Structure 1
Amino acid sequence: MEKVNNVTIFIFWGLSQNPKVQEIFVVVFSFFYAAILLGNLLIMLTVHMGNLLNSPMYFFLNLLSFVDICFSSVTAPKMIVDLLNKSKAISYTGCMLQLFGVHFFGSTEIFLLIVMAYDRYVAICKPLHYMSIMNQGRCNRMLLGAWVGGLLHSIIQLSLVLQLPFCGPNEIDHYFCDVHPLLKLGCSDTYIAGVVDTANTGTITLGGFVILLFSYTVILVSLRRQSAEGRRKALSTCGSHITVVIIFFGPCTFMYMRPDTTFAEDKMVAVFYTIIVPMLNPLIYTLRNTRVKIAMKNLWCRKVFQEANNK
């Protein structure tokens, strides 16, 4: 049977229908998005200007900041503009691109967090072989694997929606295009698509979470053999990673580790992992990482010194 698609645009319900609440949200989320851009760009600038890219941990941290910017930019600007407009419309093509971007950068971040956990495992459990194991070639291959894994996941998610016929209604009770809300609008039986979606996203989310929990458990157990100073440094670095894992995977698990159903809380939970987490990541890594703080301090001192000399 040939697919019939009568829908050319989708209408978002957004976070709220109350004009007063929308005005508050515009200010709040504009601030959040600006903080995401400034915080993550500062991390990237510090890593590049501080000559930290030769260290695998900061090599991956630089990429995490880039992914966070892209991940939030897929949804946040559109949401902010929609809060200012009475009509919250998006074209069919724009909706599909947004869905692809959310799952591409979101899953890439999951794979990247796994890679960063492996990097910390090698650094703490096999310190004498760290540079030989985490050489530039292996780092590049793991980076490529994270991008390819994200691409494959997002292609599967996109294909689930592209094969659906949409004949109306076209209103999405969300602020961005995601698989679950779109499956509800399909005119055909979406049971199989829902099962594939849960299996695909659920496997990546739960599998990534289990791998990370196991990795950091092994790391924490191995710290018993370290000196007090070694434990302090390791816990400082791993603490930031564990914090990111908890605040990122908690909402993701709630959203995707369940059958094809939607809840009223989904929108606020999605705000947490698409906007709040990318905003908190630079703060978490800066406060918990002494080397990043020193590099930032040196960078700003150098800039102030140069400006003083120019005067």
Structure 2
Amino acid sequence: MKAWFLKLHRWLALIFTAPLAVVIVTGLVLSFEPWLVTGAIVPDSLSAERVQTLLAQHDPNGQARALVYRSYDGTLTMGAGRSGGVTVDAASGEAKPGPSTLAAVMGTMRGLHERLLIDAGWLVIASTAAMLVLVLLGGLMGWPRFANTLGGWHKAMAWGLLPLTVLSPLTALLMAAGVTFATPPAAPAAQGAPLKLAQAVDIVGRDHDLSSLVWLRPQGGRVMARLVEDGEYRLYAVTPQGIQPMERNWPRLWHEGNFAGAWSAAMNVILSVVMTGLLATGAWIWLRRQFRRRARRPLPTAPA
């Protein structure tokens, strides 16, 4: 069976090499984002009063429905659905044409990572499932003999971080299937008119420093806020009575590497580097084999 596992492992990797390369490399770039966010947070640098002032200045008609704060960029984006949004400098209040180059790169990387920028989310899911199968096939081929060769390093990388190489595609598939391992939240009670963005900002700002805000937006029939607490991205439901912590979505926290600040980000960086190395060494091993086979073919005999 080992020979069959090896063939299936090889051809499955070759079929999905291109989308896997995009997913893994973009995942490597995105692995730095939690570290950028947590490392740039300056406590008490953004208050609820400051956010409300910016909303009154740049969204006087109250059209914005969502806020995105980028601590590493120092900008606040007021989203207004399909009509776009306004990005402002949180410190000076000056309107900007858009987020910084770094933030734009992160947005592009996320689009590539999730749907390849061509609405090919199905291909990303298929590639992720193939990645999980590749890891399992590698394990079924048995304990390897490590050697200081290209194949030896390929096996050493795969076995050295085996739990994480399983966890990364597995959590991605769980996210795609909507599995959170959390108790489904109760349906929001009817409470009259929905909260306005300025009201939600005031409620969140009563007990939390908004310099740790990631985003604030409607989701699932209620207003939700995502905040950084001790390096972890926590989700809260915003109600007129206050904010209520939601149960942790562990597949998302583990996959995005934002459950322990710089430590979980470093875990994802190392994992992404290893997976890039596995893809590159696997492709090179196959190419080298093809070159050797061609070199061994006998030359055609010249006619007499």
The two structures have a TM-score, normalised by structure 2, of 0.32
Higher CA-based Rg: 2
Determine which structure has the larger strand proportion and give its number: 2
The two structures have a TM-score, normalised by structure 1, of 0.31
